[in-house]
Amino acid sequence: MKNITGKKRHLCWLRRDLRLHDHHALSKALTLQEKEMSETFVAFIFDKSILSELPDKNDKRLTFIIDSLKEIEAKLNEKGSSLIIRYGNPIEEIPKLAEELKIDCLFYNRDYEPRTKARDAQITHKLTSQNIKVFNFKDLVFYEKNEILTGSREIYKVFTPYKNKWLQTFNDQEQTVANYKCDLSQLAQFQNTESIFNTDWYKKIGFIETHSNLKGGFKQALTRLSSFKKFITNYKTARDIPALEQTSNLSPYIRMGNLSIRDMIRVSIEKSDEGSATWLSELIWRDFYQVILDVFPKVEKNCFKMEYDNIHWEGKPEDFMLWSKGLTGYPIVDSAMRCLNETGMMHNRLRMIVASFLTKTLLIDWRLGERYFAAKLLDYDMAANNGGWQWSASTGVDAQPYFRIFNPYNQSEKFDPEGLFIRQW
């Protein structure tokens, strides 16, 4: 695409931040644009290296992503612009796109997964060697690893003191929550013949459109967030009862970045009640696990507590199969797994129950459960999923004691006393 305008060109690369509001990288690209004669393009890459690892071509996550991209495209069209989409390895596709568009700067928001960090470093090296500036920003979390440290300037490895320092820092900063507004009128004007509306991207990437009760996109996310605000006061107690549907049900939108972390924190501080404080605590857990993955990437494949790497897991493959299909004979465990398999969702209390059951009752390696969740969860996030599984297996950072085992019958009596969730599934 020739640059006949003479303006500098910026490219904002959307990744796990599929929205056009409160978006740090996009906001900075557009803000810099105001200071110089320039125009901004927005792009998304279907990462072939990741998609090739997904065995189920009916994966609900792809439909959720495409829903989100269609909403973004419609919004960009209103401004005379369009979302540029490519399919391939970003290490190759981003430099190719940079050459095609003749861009001067790339903007993106940081991610903390090991493979993603390595990929981004390669892309940055390629572009900077071509005199293209690369800017990346904090957006996925509220505080990064170097912002919440112990008195000796070390990373916290226990959640409660981390949370206390997080809250102290937040309060010292007068609970300031930035809003990275995006003036879309500053976007590049062009027609896109391969837009999400003009191309069958399901066919192009080799996946099939699926049905889900959760439609992707930031409009749906903001609507659900607004609804959640109405019963957040009861969140502390109601969130543990799977039949009540009183969790936020926002996790897929959080995972895909239809919401910003700042959207959620604003809601958590609107009221001074136990429910709002509990919701904020869950968001702090999210920051905590992202920091652990960032600083200790070994946890992706190994136990955080190295002494547990040599455990001999005595569980049987046939027991793992029964667990995965919801056929163990333990009603709360089986109901949770059947719900996961059909919907791609699982209540947080149920995640702890089934993880404890797999690792401490069936004696099966937590990694197998973590991988199964990775394949099935609509809201799969490596940091949170890994952290949760290692917590349950007692192998992770600030994990429960190894001798603590969730009794599925006691859990049923306490959190599903009428058997409503069990009967449903």
Catalytic residues: 282, 285, 313, 348, 366, 389
The H or E element containing residue 236 is helix 235-238
Torsion of CA 114, 116, 122, 126, to 10 degrees: -160
Distance in angstroms (rounded) separating the CA atoms of residues 78 and 81:
7
CA distances from 406 to 144, 340, 347, 393, 424 (A): 32, 19, 16, 11, 22
Distance in angstroms (rounded) separating the CA atoms of residues 228 and 371:
30
**What is the distance between the terminal CA atoms of the chain, rounded to a whole angstrom?**
53
Nearest to 262 by CA among 380, 106, 137, 386: 137
DSSP for residue 187:
B
Report whether 116 contacts 128 (CB < 8 A): no
Distance in angstroms (rounded) separating the CA atoms of residues 324 and 425:
14
DSSP for residue 69:
H
Strand pairing category for 38-47 and 83-88? parallel
Report whether 377 contacts 56 (CB < 8 A): no
217 sits in the region (left: phi over 0; alpha: psi -120 to 50; else beta) called left
Distance in angstroms (rounded) separating the CA atoms of residues 318 and 262:
44
CB atoms within 10 A of CB 238: 15
Helix axes 382-393, 274-295, angle to 10 degrees: 100
CA 57 to chain centre: 21
Q: What are the two backbone dihedrals, phi and then psi, of residue 186, each rounded to the nearest 5 degrees?
A: -90, 5
The H or E element containing residue 108 is strand 105-109
